[in-house]
Amino acid sequence: MSPVIWIVLGIIVLLVLTVIVSYNRFVSQKNLIRDSWANIDTELRRRYDLIPNLVETVKGYASHEREVFEEVTRARSVAAGATGTPAQQAAAEGPLVAALGKLFAVAEAYPDLKANQNFLALQAELSNTEDRLQTSRRFYNANVRDYNRRVQSFPSVVIARSFGFEQAEFFEVDESIREAGAPQVNFGSGPAVSFGGGATPESGGSTTPPAAPPPPPATP
């Protein structure tokens, strides 16, 4: 064979290997996104399981707040029944986040409730669940961002279009919830509880409250 033929064959082999490597990487990234979404779903289900007991505990001290309890229950039912895309799931989570904020605002008005051991245990478990949920959300969104970047970039975009790899969806709370700020509750010595994802997938965000203003100077 002439050197030209060997060169052509080498180029063809290189192109085939590039396609195979790029395709396999897309498959791995899709699987990673799927697995990281499963982690989010696990934490969401844990949150849904905690909410009924939390509502019943608060109801024992503030039974007249029926509208709040009904709103939380209704929002939980909608969110738990959402089985669509990450964007659709996030849209269902927004009202639940807002309703939970109202529930904890009610609890804030009852000192005896805030000292109730069952409530404190539920609060601690929900706080841990929220922490794990936000960690899982950031991990999922980071994987989606890396995958989408490859889907849009050359030359991997050629492989993506050829084999039907489409952009994945981020998991974000509704913009109105984000702009209003994530509800935060801190019952003295108990662990703080925060809801929602008040950060973009690119930044990861921060829910640290602003520092308290300095005390006024003492009068002479």
The pTM is what? 0.74
Residues forming a β-bridge with 184:
194
Mean pLDDT of 75-81: 93
pLDDT grade, residue 94 (50/70/90)?
A: confident
Mean pLDDT of 118-134: 91
- Give the C-alpha separation, 66 to 8, whole Å: 76
Residue 34 has pLDDT above 80, yes or no: yes
Q: Quick: pLDDT tens for 98-107.
A: 899 899 899 8
pLDDT grade, residue 114 (50/70/90)?
A: confident
Q: 184: helix, coil or strand?
A: strand
Phi, psi of 178 (to 5 degrees): -65, -45
The answer to whether 94 and 33 are in contact (CB under 8 A) is no
- Give the C-alpha separation, 87 to 84, whole Å: 8
pLDDT number for residue 173:
65
Mean pLDDT of 188-195: 38
pLDDT number for residue 198:
39
pLDDT number for residue 183:
42
Residue 186 has pLDDT above 50, yes or no: no
Count Cβ neighbours within 10 Å for each residue of 106-119 and write b for 16 or more, e otherwise: bbeeeeebbebeeb
- Give the C-alpha separation, 169 to 108, whole Å: 36
In words, the CATH class of domain 3-194 is: mainly alpha
Whole-number CA gyration radius for the chain = 24
**DSSP symbol at 173:** -
Phi, psi of 185 (to 5 degrees): -130, 135
Domain-wise residue ranges, the chain: 3-194
Residue 179 has pLDDT above 80, yes or no: no
- Give the C-alpha separation, 6 to 41, whole Å: 52
pLDDT grade, residue 2 (50/70/90)?
A: confident
Mean pLDDT of 61-76: 92
More confident residue, 184 or 97: 97
What pairing do the DSSP bridges indicate for beta strands 184-185 and 193-194? antiparallel
Average pLDDT, the chain: 81
- Give the C-alpha separation, 48 to 183, whole Å: 17
